[in-house]
Amino acid sequence: MAPGDNRKVITVSGADALAKAAAKRVLARIAANGDRVAICLSGGSSPKRLYQLLATDAYRTQIPWDRVHWFIGDERFVPADDPLNNMAMARRIFLDHSAPAANIHPIPTDTANPEQSARRYESELKAFYGANELDPARPLFDVVLMGVGPDGHTASLFPDDPALEEAERWVVAVREAHVEPFVPRVTLTLPALGSCREMLFEVSGAEKRPVLTRVLEGENVPAKRAHSTGETIWLVDKAALPENFRER
């Protein structure tokens, strides 16, 4: 990463090691906060192994489920039980086994349209946070998980989309996705996602190498623009690293 930016790249070997390293960081953030914890999950395929790990006894028993709240950074505008629904995936793999229902905060998709869904989720986040303005000294989330798509998008913030420039709203609708699945999306904005103690990207697999190369070379794709008011960590499987990259 460019000198002076607050991102840190941590490399690991293989998808299993990546999931373990991510789980360790999530557990450390939970342990560091003795009060109510807020975790913002991500969709797509990258976090699946982490979610599977959190469902195992070794990890599940370390989570104080009563005081951890689970949100989602973006959602596909499909019914809650649709296989494409991001929160449905997290619920199926680990949340529904252990988390109290009141601590699971899905983006509602039973609304008339994605705009209404975005307004409702923004109200829910503001009620949870207890204020209408984000205070940099008091982050909304303890951890925000992120992935990166082939065009450099993250959450549902796509290159050249107006949602990327949103500075006031916490959640917005995105009428057209730029990559599959081509369904409308609802996404948290850069200020809302960035209001966290730790933003944790998970990048794994050789197919991520082209986009990771662009990010590491400093191209201002959405995933590069996303950063935390606290720590921003890129957890990268070596298979996704460009040949010439050296850890700085």
The Cα-based distances of 2 to 8, 210, 240 in angstroms read 10, 18, 19
Quick check: bond before 181 cis, omega within 30? yes
Single out the residue of 103, 104, 69 nearest to residue 85, CA to CA: 104
Residue 199 interacting with ligand 6PG (CB under 6 A): no
Q: Please tell me whether residue 190 adopts helix, strand or coil conformation.
A: helix
Q: Output 125 or 148, the one with its CB closest to ligand 6PG.
A: 148
Q: How far apart are the first and last CA of the chain?
A: 8
Q: Which of residues 55-94 bind ligand 6PG (CB under 6 A)?
A: 74, 76, 86
Contact between 193 and 146 (Cβ < 8 Å): yes
- Which one-letter amino acid corresponds to residue 49? R
Distance CA(228)–CA(67), nearest Å, equals 23
Residue 222 interacting with ligand 6PG (CB under 6 A): no
Q: Output 1 or 84, the one with its CB closest to ligand 6PG.
A: 84
Which one of the spans 42-50, 55-63, 88-96, 99-107 is the region binding ligand 6PG (CB under 6 A)? 42-50
Which one of the spans 9-17, 19-27, 148-156, 239-247 is the region binding ligand 6PG (CB under 6 A)? 148-156
Using CB under 6 A, pick the residue from 19, 87, 88, 155 that binds ligand 6PG: 155
Q: Output 38 or 148, the one with its CB closest to ligand 6PG.
A: 148
For ligand 6PG, the binding residues (CB under 6 A) are 42-46, 74, 76, 86, 147-149, 153-155
